[in-house]
Structure 1
Amino acid sequence: MDIPWVEKYRPRRFRDIVGNNKAINEILRWAQDWERGKPRYKALVLVGKPGCGKTTVAKVLAEEMGWGVIELNASDIRNEQKIKEIALRGAVYETFTDDGEFISSKKGGRKLIIFDEADNLYEGVKDGDRGGKKAIAETIKNTRQPIILIGNDYYSLFSGTWGKALKSLAYVIRFKALTRAQIMKVLKRICMAEGIKCQDTALAYIAGRSGGDLRAAINDLQALAQGKKILTEDDLGATGYRDVKNEIYKSTLVVLHTEHFWEAKNALTNLDETPDYVLFWIEENMPLEYTKPEDLVRAYEYLSRADVYLGRVKRRQQYALWAYAMDMIAGVSVGKEEKYKQHARRYQFPSWLSQMSRSKKVRGIRDSLGMKLGRIYHTSKNEVLDNVIQEFSVLYDKDEGVRRLYTSILHLNEDEISYLTEKDPKEILNELKK
């Protein structure tokens, strides 16, 4: 069975971790306070979106400090009795690590108690179980060992009476979602290790769609690239990504109508799209909204600056410049002298992207025909496309016998038939069935 790449390439040292340097430094200072026997807080709470590295950092900390690890999960253990049986016992008494190694606190041995998905802790009685937050608070008060709580939802973890108690006992460290550039760096590293050649645009797309979740991006990469030597943009459809047309529509509406730069920037920051794609949407629909020429001039000036940054990204592969490009696109919002009260009833999909999509489809049809005819003519696809297909299409269009024969033996589909003749492809296929 193949090892999940998330585990296979999980960092083992801090130097291998990407992002959240400030949070990591705070955690290291806390660990050093424990080593000196003078921790101000006995527990840490790591909060942040999924996939930003919270659990990985906790495990790497134990590895770097030479501490044992006791790892618990709130999805399995979240009521008071179970926590007292496991967490409190491990925090107060001598115990063994998960590997069976005995750790003596009297001899200075440390064990890190990691409580993952802590935001799933019960506050009070629920489904017959008494709340786990109370037990965790008591554990922190009495612990002789460092404790790290990990959760995604800050407010869920600290809600209620015992949630407030937890907050007073532990130091909270927030983790930020990773940027596209940071995620791409990891994805490139994995591709190199797996011997996969991957287009930067494909990696950028995967990274952008992850929403800052490195784990999700790695899983998508494995689903797309495992067993392949080359990964291109054409392979991206296999991930089943959601339709984001409604999201880009809403963000375009905000940028073109708000008078506040920060509002436009927030709309684009929360949009999981690359700057070049966003730029096409703004550029296409801006003339529908901005009726004053001077407003259009200023708005296009911002877009031109964004395009400069995007050009540098393409030439130098410096994806950190994407942030500056997004800021320039958001600047369109302050290009107008006053807010437009009316807005276009319906925004248009960027015409340039539509043309590229159609031309890409045509190239795909040509390539398919080239390969099919190449097998019959015992020649290469390129040879067919350069010297054969034009004359063949004339013969196919004029001669019914040739048309019936080659439609059958080449298993031509409607798109391929439409490319070769102006006749109705459905009628041709129906004739073959008779």
Structure 2
Amino acid sequence: MLGPWVEKYRPQSLDDVVGQKHIVNRLKQYVEEESMPNLMFTGPAGVGKTTSALALVKSILGEYWRQNFLELNASDARGIETVRTDIKNFCRLKPVGAPFRIIFLDEVDNMTKDAQHALRREMEMYTKTASFILSCNYSSKIIDPIQSRCAIFRFTPIKAEEIADRLKFIAETEGCEYEDTAITTIVNFAEGDMRKSVNMLQSAASTGSITEDHVFEVVSKAKPQEIKKMVNTALMGDFMKSRDILREVMILQGTSGEDMVNQIYQDVSGRVMSGQMDGDVYMNLIGAIAETDFRIREGANPRIQLEALLAKFL
């Protein structure tokens, strides 16, 4: 099968889901009981919310899962009409060869408040024939009446070693040679996001073997040692030299301003955690980093803002 590795290697059963063991074990209980309450999956992107929902649906509904399952992405269909027509019409029908029907709503935090109130009404009316699985990044954007009707599962970023094991498995299955340092670099950049890490792996593999240099080429980020050198130079008082490193990284390697701010933040945070930087110095720098991040996101010139940030490091 050609196409994205994210879909090719998407787990099909709860046993195959990477990480989230505390959640998977509770979901398996619902499969054994052949019943489940309304569920809400909340957490950052790429940590297995949709995958877990689909695996649960297939396990509970069995061979007739397609006839008894409705999936809607609330980013596309997020108005009150969707709730009143699509969801209501689906809930009215009796389940076919399954204990009940399941509606999966992805990205519910993008639904309008009116649509959420309408959804709450449908959840009340069809408790005997249908269960809902709601997925969102921010549960705070969901109205309280919906939250109180759901069992809430909070997904956490996937652990580094679990992502690394999965990436090695995919690379070996695809017959790709890889360096351990390349896998480590992908894991560091993914920050707990499995989907992002698999996409990086596939991009790096497109050039042949998966090496650390190939990974840096596809993610368009600066090497940590270059960021460290730039910060060291600024802290030692040599502004011109640190500015030259900044320009080289941004122009020659094409690193974006937002990525540079994030990498500087990670470098400085690592220093204070390992005892290489005084807490008071860190407090002053973190304020300057936050201000630079805000200005770049608001549309200011990234190079000017980053040079101003390096000046504050002096």
TM-score norm. by structure 1 comes to: 0.50
Q: Is 1:117 equivalent to 2:97 in the alignment?
A: no
What residue in structure 2 maps to residue 179 of structure 1?
Answer: 159
Q: Quick one: distance in 1 between partners of 2:159 and 2:280? A: 35
Residue aligned with 2:148, SS: helix
Q: Retained in 2: the 8 A contact 1:121–1:133?
A: yes
**Relative to 1, partners in 2 of residues 1:24 and 1:47: Cα closer, same or farther, differing over 3 Å?**
same
Q: Is 1:61 equivalent to 2:52 in the alignment?
A: no
Q: Is 1:151 equivalent to 2:136 in the alignment?
A: yes
Q: Is 1:142 equivalent to 2:122 in the alignment?
A: no
Residue aligned with 1:185, SS: helix
| 1:85 shift after superposition | 0.9
Q: Quick one: distance in 1 between partners of 2:13 and 2:105? A: 20
Q: Quick one: distance in 2 between partners of 1:30 and 1:272? A: 42
Deviations 1:317-352 (A, max 9, x none): xxxxxxxxxxxx83638xx9xx77568x99xxxxxx
C-alpha root-mean-square deviation of aligned residues, in Å?
A: 3.3
Q: Quick one: distance in 2 between partners of 1:25 and 1:272? A: 36
What residue in structure 2 maps to residue 234 of structure 1?
Answer: 213
Larger Rg: 1
Q: Quick one: distance in 2 between partners of 1:342 and 1:149? A: 44
| 1:30 shift after superposition | 3.7
Residue aligned with 1:27, SS: helix
Residue aligned with 2:46, SS: coil
| 1:27 shift after superposition | 2.3
TM-score norm. by structure 2 comes to: 0.68
Residue aligned with 2:123, SS: helix
* Percent identity over paired residues: 27
What residue in structure 2 maps to residue 409 of structure 1?
Answer: none
Residue aligned with 1:231, SS: coil
Q: Retained in 2: the 8 A contact 1:5–1:222?
A: yes
Q: Retained in 1: the 8 A contact 2:39–2:133?
A: yes
Q: Is 1:45 equivalent to 2:40 in the alignment?
A: yes
Residue aligned with 2:11, SS: coil
**Relative to 1, partners in 2 of residues 1:342 and 1:30: Cα closer, same or farther, differing over 3 Å?**
closer
Q: Quick one: distance in 1 between partners of 2:192 and 2:134? A: 21
Deviations 1:139-174 (A, max 9, x none): 211222221000111211x2xxxx111011111110
Give 2:130's aligned amino acid.
Answer: Q
Give 1:182's aligned amino acid.
Answer: E
Give 1:50's aligned amino acid.
Answer: A
Residues 398-409 of structure 1: pairs in structure 2 closer than 5 A: none
**Relative to 1, partners in 2 of residues 1:201 and 1:170: Cα closer, same or farther, differing over 3 Å?**
same
What residue in structure 1 maps to residue 238 of structure 2?
Answer: none
Q: Is 1:212 equivalent to 2:192 in the alignment?
A: yes
Q: Is 1:330 equivalent to 2:273 in the alignment?
A: yes
Q: Retained in 2: the 8 A contact 1:78–1:120?
A: yes
Q: Quick one: distance in 2 between partners of 1:203 and 1:139? A: 46
Q: Quick one: distance in 2 between partners of 1:87 and 1:242? A: 43
**Relative to 1, partners in 2 of residues 1:175 and 1:239: Cα closer, same or farther, differing over 3 Å?**
same
Q: Retained in 1: the 8 A contact 2:11–2:51?
A: yes
What residue in structure 2 maps to residue 8 of structure 1?
Answer: 8
Give 1:19's aligned amino acid.
Answer: G
Residue aligned with 1:146, SS: strand
| 1:115 shift after superposition | 0.5
Q: Quick one: distance in 2 between partners of 1:72 and 1:24? A: 23
What residue in structure 1 maps to residue 177 of structure 2?
Answer: 197
Residue aligned with 1:169, SS: coil
What residue in structure 2 maps to residue 289 of structure 1?
Answer: none
Structure 2 gaps of 5+ residues are 236-261, 286-314
Q: How many residues align?
A: 244
Q: Retained in 2: the 8 A contact 1:209–1:272?
A: no
Q: Quick one: distance in 1 between partners of 2:76 and 2:279? A: 54
Give 1:187's aligned amino acid.
Answer: L
**Relative to 1, partners in 2 of residues 1:195 and 1:112: Cα closer, same or farther, differing over 3 Å?**
same
Give 2:27's aligned amino acid.
Answer: I
Give 2:273's aligned amino acid.
Answer: A
Query: RCO greater where, 1 or 2, for CA within 8 Å and sep 6 or more?
Result: 2
Structure 1 gaps of 5+ residues are 95-102, 124-130, 254-270, 283-328, 347-434
Deviations 1:353-379 (A, max 9, x none): xxxxxxxxxxxxxxxxxxxxxxxxxxx
Deviations 1:168-222 (A, max 9, x none): 1111110011011111111111101110010111011001101111101111111
**Relative to 1, partners in 2 of residues 1:121 and 1:192: Cα closer, same or farther, differing over 3 Å?**
same
Deviations 1:248-287 (A, max 9, x none): 96xxx9xxxxxxxxxxxxxxxxx889xxx969x74xxxxx
What residue in structure 1 maps to residue 288 of structure 2?
Answer: none
| 1:112 shift after superposition | 2.1
Residue aligned with 2:77, SS: coil
Q: Is 1:82 equivalent to 2:82 in the alignment?
A: yes
| 1:32 shift after superposition | 4.3
